[in-house]
Amino acid sequence: MHSADDNGITIRLADENATLAYARRLSNILTPGLVIYLQGDLGAGKTTLVRGLLQALGYTGRVKSPTYTLLEPYSVGNWEIRHFDLYRMNTPLEWESAGFNDEVDGDNVFLIEWPAQAQGQLPPPDLEINFDILDDGRAVTLQAFSPKGIGCIKRF
Ligand SMILES: Nc1ncnc2c1ncn2[C@@H]1O[C@H](COP(=O)(O)OP(=O)(O)O)[C@@H](O)[C@H]1O
Ligand SMILES: [Mg+2]
């Protein structure tokens, strides 16, 4: 979908707690307006990562997958997080008609599951995280696609 500026960083995460710890690490390199694509099969751990990230930022409520609403917004501390799950989007045009472009304000952080469902409509990614399901845990690859993303990876 996009070409990476380098091969990225791949880490094996043995269990759910490792995914949550990875999310905490990621929370330390967030910058306002960051766009992160989350890729991987159903059950790979994308929503788990979002939950860990929100909890690391101080969110104490329930984190549910926006399966039908497509978007779940969160305000936590000074952060504005926009969690998308586009799995049930019927056409990429829904992105625009739902008004999601209005969420792009340079401040809101985007975490997007199933970005290919809105191909051509989304803001381009700064970072992409790919989850591969292993027999034992997950392999997670972090890649940068913009100068901003490269800056984040350097601090990861
Ligand atoms: N590193 C890991 N190793 C094994 N299981 C994991 C790991 N991280 C998360 N899981 C489990 O895999 C499932 C991931 O579900 P979820 O985060 O909803 O996936 P997705 O959003 O990608 O569909 C959860 O049951 C979670 O406990
Ligand atoms: Mg999910």
In a domain, 4, yes or no: no
In a domain, 18, yes or no: yes
In a domain, 2, yes or no: no
Give the pTM. Answer: 0.96
Contact 66 CB / ligand 1 (< 6 Å): no
Report pLDDT digits (tens) over 114-153. 999 999 999 999 999 999 999 999 999 999 999 999 999 9
Domain count, the chain: 1
In whole angstroms, give the CA distance from residue 76 to residue 109: 11
In a domain, 22, yes or no: yes
In whole angstroms, give the CA distance from residue 20 to residue 9: 17
Kindly state the tokens that stand for 57. 């930022």
Domain boundaries, position 118:
10-155
Contacts 24+ apart (CB under 8 A), 43-48: 43/133, 44/131, 44/132, 44/133, 44/138, 45/13, 45/16, 45/19, 45/131, 45/138, 45/140, 46/113, 46/129, 46/131, 47/85, 47/113, 48/16, 48/19, 48/20, 48/23
Ligand nearest to the CA of 19: 1
Identity at 66, one-letter amino acid code? P
Banded model confidence at residue 3, pLDDT cuts 50, 70, 90: very low
Whichever domain contains 18, its CATH number is: 3.40.50.300
In a domain, 3, yes or no: no
In a domain, 103, yes or no: yes
Ligand nearest to the CA of 40: 1
Report pLDDT digits (tens) over 52-104. 999 999 999 999 999 999 999 999 999 999 999 999 999 999 999 999 999 99
- Report which protein residue has its CA nearest ligand 1's atom 7: 16
Kindly state the tokens that stand for 28. 């330390």
In whole angstroms, give the CA distance from residue 91 to residue 113: 15
CA distances from 148 to 1, 4, 34, 71, 124 (A): 19, 13, 8, 24, 12
In a domain, 42, yes or no: yes
The alpha carbon of 53 and the centre of ligand 1 are apart by a number of angstroms equal to: 14
